[in-house]
Amino acid sequence: MMRTRPLKVALLGCGVVGSEVARIMTTHADDLAARIGAPVELAGVAVRRPDKVREGIDPALVTTDATALVKRGDLDIVVEVIGGIEPARALITTAFEHGASVVSANKALLAQDGAALHAAAEEHGRDLYYEAAVAGAIPLIRPLRESLAGDKVNRVLGIVNGTTNFILDKMDTTGAGYQEALDEATALGYAEADPTADVEGFDAAAKAAILAGIAFHTRVRLDDVHREGMTEVTAADFASAKEMGCTIKLLAICERAGDGASVTARVHPAMIPLSHPLASVRGAYNAVFVESDAAGQLMFYGPGAGGAPTASAVLGDLVAVGRNRISGATGPGESAYAALPVSPMGDVVTRYHISLDVADKPGVLAQVATVFAEHGVSIDTVRQQGKDGEASLVVVTHRASDAALGGTVETLRKLDTVRGVASIMRVEGE
């Protein structure tokens, strides 16, 4: 039987995502009510520019005083889609204090202060849901937090930023340079005017922190995630990748150590074999590959950003939280019981592709091979090309630690026969 008293929802932010949330709440009102078990009422919308025309939203609901809105005391759910750290953090905690549960899409805040927000939600007996914070419309948080709760997740490997995937895909398929591909992404609206958060890996790193925390039942903060951007990836790197039967993606990688005693989280460009499912993810799409003991290998794929896709995830959380409100229950909170240490990047073991500019003369290959051996890094393959006294040497290693590889490269740079290190890239997805 449906409850007649509506669930009151406040919306913090009414930009691309917020306006879509409001639109779907209106156009799908009957369906949402049937799924939740009560009508849903948009009780207020906090914005920075109140004079802007917002189609489908009663101007009487619009306010610039977000704090007063979340302090009303009669709200059931607050939807936060303003982003950033403050005032979002203060508004969310205030919402909990005044009796509302929260649905958020704020990856930066959750990656930095997720533990404190979960603690505040638990203290006040309220829900904190955030499916939309990672990979847009792709159901990922809930499968990790609920569907795989009885399994042991060992690895999460994914493309979690559509802008960078679009750029790298263009470089791969058309031979375009980085700047040319970025310009096209900007023109099409995939890249912001300032693309730093995307191309330098900050956005992906925040998502990696959230995923690692849920997957491994361990608190992982943004500062724990090793981050490298993709601005130095070149057409020559793609040519080398193709010779290996690979392509290049900016990956978020969260792993449990082989002995299960620690975890790592990192974001960086990497070569992956064309046979791997992630290699075929094109354009601005996202995909996440999950490996667990019992379920085996799972892949989640779809649009990772945009107003409607992200709003879809927000509304899914709203339905779940609404059902909990009616039943007087709360959903799963933070699970950090494992409390595993986060290992530094130096401990990470993977394969490497190293391109060296060297003198084209006898004995160079032997010198280089000796350096690798001295640092305990085993070589898988070597390819050498030379002309007019200069040569390029491409070395692909077996699995080695990042620290060992770093020491190897440092020693190589000191050799008179090595003119420079053209590129270093990890090889993943074996």
Cα 369 from Cα 17, distance rounded (Å): 54
Distances (CA, A) of 413 to 260, 350, 426: 36, 21, 19
207 counts as catalytic: yes
The catalytic position among 8, 107, 170, 207 is: 207
The four Cα atoms 203, 204, 206, 211 give a dihedral, to 10 degrees, of 150
Cα 394 from Cα 246, distance rounded (Å): 15
Nearest by Cα to 300 from 311, 289, 312, 316: 289
Pairing relation of β-strands 285-292 and 379-387?
unpaired
Cα 185 from Cα 200, distance rounded (Å): 15
Chain position carrying tokens 């992956």: 272
How many distinct helices (H) and strands (E) make up the chain? 14, 17
DSSP for 199-226, written as a single string: HTSHHHHHHHHHHHHHHHTS---GGGSE
The count of other CB atoms within 10 Å of the CB of residue 10 is 26
Q: Do 240 and 353 meet the contact criterion of CB atoms below 8 Å apart?
A: yes
> Hey, is 158 helix, strand or coil?
strand
* The two structure tokens encoding residue 25: 């709440």
> Hey, is 289 helix, strand or coil?
strand
* The two structure tokens encoding residue 281: 């993810």
* The two structure tokens encoding residue 178: 């980085």
Q: Do 133 and 92 meet the contact criterion of CB atoms below 8 Å apart?
A: no
Q: Do 148 and 290 meet the contact criterion of CB atoms below 8 Å apart?
A: yes
Catalytic residues: 207
